[in-house]
């Protein structure tokens, strides 16, 4: 831990002094980094800083100057001071803020461009461009995948919590003809019962009981064979859907998957999908997740980035550090293409940008990522 802290301090010192040495060169590309280097999210700030160093190593252009300032954690006073300090150095473009809750604070800096790593708003808002993996991009990837699989009836499951209203607004972009929405209580005491209702579990279980009772009084070979098969089943009858989109994460997602399997939903017949899980290997230990699909960033690039980061800095990067890496590349691309960056309009380009996360585009004032679909199978992630 002490060694890692020394490395972080070294890079902060290096970036700050490089900026001072080159402050008068008007041909430099000055990029501000607005990140939490103190408070509960300081490890995130450190990871973003180091990932930007990897990007600089690859670009290998000494005209790029990184100006770092501590935005703190949920501290608007510190945030404002950090922005003002960066602007004083002559930087006109800033990577950050991380949290979309701070967008109102930064929008008043009309002449400064902010590249946020937030995934909440793909819309380019005034002077803020969010390049996080948006729910819209994920939904778009999933709906295209479901169509290719020729599924006709989809249910969309997500929890009732502080994000429900946000998800409600994004679901409107769904491009499926036949789908139903169900919102569930994340509390395990209620979740299984709610999933049983959605899957009509009680009726299907009764169907099995009645069919077995009918066959028990028969002795012909066909009836005996059928009865033997039914002894291995929990229900009879198909559910009224052939694909599922679960918008949830972590233990909640695992609980939903377990409840679906408990309710005898066959993942060989029903397509199980969820949103971006950042290749979380803990899901391998869930027996219910043997066939699960989800959209995500480019796996090969993700693994390569993680390995390079770990080899150099002897620690694991935060997942969204990959976005900070791409943010540097994006800014540099626009700067080189236009021989400078004059305003946010310079980012309204038709080109397809190739980053570590994959390809992304700017279309009608929105940012979209072209995400790949991955399958969890045999304790590994496979591109579908």
Q: Is residue 28 part of a domain?
A: yes
Q: Is residue 173 part of a domain?
A: yes
State pTM to two decimals. Answer: 0.86
Specify the pLDDT at position 16: 46
Q: Which of 296, 315, 343 is the last residue of a domain?
A: 296
Rounded distance, CA 114 to CA 103, Å?
9
What does the mean pLDDT of the chain come to?
A: 87
Specify the pLDDT at position 118: 87
Q: Which of 273, 296, 319 is the last residue of a domain?
A: 296
Query: Is residue 8 pLDDT above 60, yes or no?
Result: no
Residue 151 shares a structural domain with residue 288: yes
What are the beta bridge partners of residue 296? 372
Instruction: Of 119, 78, 103, 92, give the one whose Cα is nearest residue 32.
Output: 92
Query: Under a CB-based contact definition with an 8 Å cutoff, are residues 146 and 158 in contact?
Result: no
Q: Is residue 226 part of a domain?
A: no
CB atoms closer than 10 angstroms to residue 362: 20
pLDDT tens by residue, 337-377 = 999 998 888 888 888 888 888 888 887 778 888 999 999 88
Rounded distance, CA 126 to CA 344, Å?
8
To the nearest 10°, report the CA torsion of 363, 368, 370, 375: -150
Give the burial string for 79-89 (b: 16+ CB within 10 Å, else e): bbebbebbbee
Residue 292 shares a structural domain with residue 309: no
State both tokens at 149. Answer: 């699989």
CB atoms closer than 10 angstroms to residue 252: 17
pLDDT tens by residue, 22-58 = 444 667 899 999 999 988 888 999 999 999 999 999 9
Q: Is residue 230 part of a domain?
A: no
Residue 81 shares a structural domain with residue 13: yes
Query: Under a CB-based contact definition with an 8 Å cutoff, are residues 92 and 338 in contact?
Result: no
Residue 127 shares a structural domain with residue 264: no
Query: Is residue 19 pLDDT above 90, yes or no?
Result: no
Specify the pLDDT at position 103: 82
Q: What is the mean pLDDT of residues 8-14?
A: 48
Specify the pLDDT at position 368: 87
Residue 348 shares a structural domain with residue 269: no
Specify the pLDDT at position 286: 66
Q: Which residues contact 86 (CB under 8 A, 6 or more apart)?
A: 32, 34, 67, 69, 94
Q: Is residue 322 part of a domain?
A: yes
The total number of residues shown for the chain amounts to 384
Structurally, how many domains does the chain consist of? 2
Rounded distance, CA 30 to CA 92, Å?
7
Q: What is the mean pLDDT of residues 81-104?
A: 89
Which has the higher per-residue pLDDT, 137 or 287? 137
Specify the pLDDT at position 289: 59
Q: CATH number of the domain that 275 lies in?
A: 3.40.50.2300
Q: Is residue 228 part of a domain?
A: no
Instruction: Name the H helices within 60-123.
Output: 76-88, 103-106
Query: Is residue 2 pLDDT above 50, yes or no?
Result: no
Quote the percentage of the chain above a pLDDT of 70.
92
What are the beta bridge partners of residue 155? 180, 244
Q: Could you say which DSSP state residue 39 is in?
A: S
Which has the higher per-residue pLDDT, 2 or 377? 377
Q: Which of 296, 321, 337 is the last residue of a domain?
A: 296
pLDDT interval class at 334 (50, 70, 90): very high
Residue 173 shares a structural domain with residue 75: no
pLDDT interval class at 283 (50, 70, 90): confident
Q: Is residue 160 part of a domain?
A: yes
State both tokens at 91. Answer: 């930087």
Quote the percentage of the chain above a pLDDT of 90.
52
pLDDT tens by residue, 238-248 = 899 999 999 99
Specify the pLDDT at position 287: 60
Query: Is residue 3 pLDDT above 50, yes or no?
Result: no
Q: What is the mean pLDDT of residues 71-91?
A: 90
Q: What is the mean pLDDT of residues 302-307?
A: 93
Q: What is the mean pLDDT of residues 315-342?
A: 92
Residue 362 shares a structural domain with residue 321: yes
CB atoms closer than 10 angstroms to residue 130: 22
Residue 159 shares a structural domain with residue 292: yes
Distance of CA 326 to the CA centre of its chain: 15
Rg (CA), the chain: 25
Q: Is residue 314 part of a domain?
A: yes
Which has the higher per-residue pLDDT, 181 or 126? 181
Which has the higher per-residue pLDDT, 335 or 230? 335
Residue 304 shares a structural domain with residue 289: no
Residue 287 shares a structural domain with residue 152: yes
**Residue in this structure with the two tokens 């043997």, named with its chain if needed:** 290
Rounded distance, CA 374 to CA 70, Å?
36
Specify the pLDDT at position 59: 93
Burial class (CB in 10 A: 0-12, 13-18, 19+), 327: buried
Residue 141 shares a structural domain with residue 250: yes
**Residue in this structure with the two tokens 């803990």, named with its chain if needed:** 282
State both tokens at 15. Answer: 């970036």
Q: Which residues contact 224 (CB under 8 A, 6 or more apart)?
A: 215, 218
Which has the higher per-residue pLDDT, 202 or 6? 202
Specify the pLDDT at position 17: 41
Rounded distance, CA 220 to CA 288, Å?
37
pLDDT tens by residue, 206-220 = 999 998 888 888 888
Rounded distance, CA 76 to CA 80, Å?
6
State both tokens at 207. Answer: 């169907």
Instruction: Of 92, 88, 96, 98, give the one whose Cα is nearest residue 110.
Output: 92
Residue 67 shares a structural domain with residue 83: yes
Q: What is the H or E stretch that residue 69 is in?
A: strand 64-70
Phi and psi dihedrals of 173, rounded to 5? -85, 0
Q: List the domain range (segments joined by +) for residue 260.
A: 135-200+239-296
């Amino acid at each position: 831990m002490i060694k890692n802290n020394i490395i972080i301090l070294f890079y902060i010192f290096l970036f700050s002094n490089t900026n001072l040495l080159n402050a008068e060169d008007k041909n430099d590309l000055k990029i501000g980094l607005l990140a939490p280097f103190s408070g509960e999210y300081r490890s995130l700030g450190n990871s973003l800083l180091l990932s930007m160093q990897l990007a600089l190593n690859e670009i290998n252009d000494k005209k790029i100057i990184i100006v770092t300032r501590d935005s703190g954690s949920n501290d608007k006073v510190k945030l404002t001071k950090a922005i003002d300090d960066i602007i004083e150095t002559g930087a006109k473009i800033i990577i950050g803020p991380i949290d979309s809750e701070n967008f109102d604070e930064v929008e008043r800096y009309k002449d400064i461009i902010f590249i946020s790593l937030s995934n909440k708003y793909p819309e380019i808002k005034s002077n803020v461009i969010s390049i996080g993996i948006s729910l819209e991009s994920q939904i778009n990837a999933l709906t295209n995948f479901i169509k290719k699989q020729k599924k006709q009836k989809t249910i969309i499951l997500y929890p009732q919590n502080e994000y429900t209203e946000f998800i409600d607004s994004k679901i409107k972009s769904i491009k499926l003809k036949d789908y139903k929405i169900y919102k569930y209580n994340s509390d395990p005491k209620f979740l299984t019962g709610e999933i049983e209702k959605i899957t009509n579990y009680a009726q299907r279980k009764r169907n099995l009981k009645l069919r077995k009772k009918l066959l028990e009084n028969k002795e012909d070979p066909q009836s005996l064979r059928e009865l033997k098969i039914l002894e291995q089943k929990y229900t009879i009858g198909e559910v009224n859907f052939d694909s599922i989109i679960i918008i949830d994460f972590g233990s909640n997602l695992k609980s939903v998957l377990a409840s679906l399997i408990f309710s005898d939903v066959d993942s060989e017949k029903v397509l199980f999908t969820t949103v971006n899980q950042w290749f979380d290997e803990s899901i391998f230990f869930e027996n219910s997740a043997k066939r699960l699909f989800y959209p995500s960033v480019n796996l090969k690039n993700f693994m390569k980035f993680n390995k390079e980061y770990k080899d150099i800095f002897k620690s694991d990067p935060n997942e969204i550090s990959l976005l900070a890496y791409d943010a540097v590349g994006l800014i540099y691309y626009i700067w080189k293409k236009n021989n400078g960056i004059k305003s946010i309009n310079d980012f309204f380009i038709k080109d397809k940008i190739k980053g570590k996360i994959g390809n992304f585009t700017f279309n009608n004032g929105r940012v979209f990522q072209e995400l790949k679909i991955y399958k969890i199978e045999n304790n590994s992630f496979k591109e579908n």
